[in-house]
Amino acid sequence: MRPLDAIRSLKLKLGIVIVATVVGTVGVLVVGRRAGLALEWRLVAAVAMGVLVAQLLARGMTSPLREMAAASRAMARGDYGRRVHATSRDEVGELARSFNTMAAELATVDRQRRDLVANVSHELRTPIGALQVLLENLIDGVAEPDEQTLRTAHAQTERLGRLVEQLLDLSRLDSGAVPLRPSAFAAAPLLEQVAEEGRLHAAQPVDVRWEAEPADLRLTGDSDRLHQVLANLVDNAVRHSPSGGRVTIRARRLAHAGHSHGGHAELSVSDQGPGIPAADLERVFERFFRTDRSRTAADGGTGLGLAIARSIVDAHGGSIRATNEPIGSRFVVELPIR
């Protein structure tokens, strides 16, 4: 039992402990004298009483500090699982609760780091393994160095290169190593360019359209980075489109009461593909997440595109989300305009 847990101030608690100890000691002295006890015995009893009262009341006041010290040492060794018992409501309890929050956050970061390393190794191993087998076959003369074989090898190296490139990009974005270079620019040329690139890269005929509302809409941000975001969304949309499907890129100003300047712009990319399972709408932005691993691994998808897009949009102070339409999916980016 911790009798003083409900008190919010450490100072007040110490005061209570001191006063109670003094009262206890004096009480014993007085009672001892009335009972006719010798002075020595009275003093011994008083000291014992003082120690008892202090022990009883101060119980649990400092134990969170000791626990925190032990937990910090465990953390330094890489064990993030320890938590401190925080029952008191004073400053020490407050500190213990903050400590627990911090420990939980560190544990999450640590887990994410481990997951990332595991994912990266896995993703690198697949194309490297395929390349290795292929080259071994060539050396052993089992396979001929014909065009098809070399093309396969080339595709694997391209995939590896892209993966490494995207990982570097993500880590740069995360660390803020490459600052954004924001400017104001017209939306229409950006949309036109992205649409053109989407058409060029499509493996099947896809009708890529764009529209800006108003036509002279201006965006603010790092135009290269925003181009990267849209190109990524259009690339996904085109890849998931059925033959002859339509991909629409739209930019519009969001109605904003009472503001002629500022507010938000909305950029969206919609397709007529299979859509995204409802449970995965948020997960598609996770690193290496793919709804269909077999298919996307074959067509070169890394599962990093949307994670990069989200990092870029976040850095702009905006948001990105995925939704499903009656037919197909729609990705919506909201950006503040300054």
Ligand X SMILES: Nc1ncnc2c1ncn2[C@@H]1O[C@H](COP(=O)(O)OP(=O)(O)O)[C@@H](O)[C@H]1O
Q: Contacts with ligand X in 244-303 (CB under 6 A)? A: 271, 273-274, 276, 284, 289-292, 296, 301-303
Interaction between residue 127 and ligand X (CB under 6 A)? no
What is d(CA 294, CA 195) in angstroms, rounded to the nearest whole number?
27
> Shortest distance, CB of residue 195 to Mg ion, whole angstroms?
17
Cβ nearer to ligand X, comparing 290 with 316: 290
Tokens found for residue 238: 């085109």
**E-strand stretches of 168-308:** 183-186, 207-213, 218-221, 246-254, 264-270
Which residue matches tokens 């420990």? Answer: 103
Cβ nearer to ligand X, comparing 149 with 323: 323
Closest CA to 316 of 250, 248, 280, 264: 264
> Shortest distance, CB of residue 168 to ligand X, whole angstroms?
16
Amino acid code (one letter) for 35: A
- Residue closest to Mg ion, measured at CB: 305
Interaction between residue 191 and ligand X (CB under 6 A)? no
3-state percent breakdown (helix, strand, coil) of the chain, nearest 5: 55, 15, 30
Interaction between residue 245 and Mg ion (CB under 5 A)? no
What is d(CA 174, CA 168) in angstroms, rounded to the nearest whole number?
10
> Shortest distance, CB of residue 310 to ligand X, whole angstroms?
9
Interaction between residue 240 and ligand X (CB under 6 A)? yes
Closest CA to 279 of 324, 229, 215: 324
Interaction between residue 86 and ligand X (CB under 6 A)? no
Taking residues 297 to 336 in sequence order and writing x for each that binds Mg ion by CB under 5 A, - otherwise, the string is: --------x-------------------------------
- Which residues contribute to the site for ligand X (CB under 6 A)? 232, 236-237, 240, 271, 273-274, 276, 284, 289-292, 296, 301-307, 329
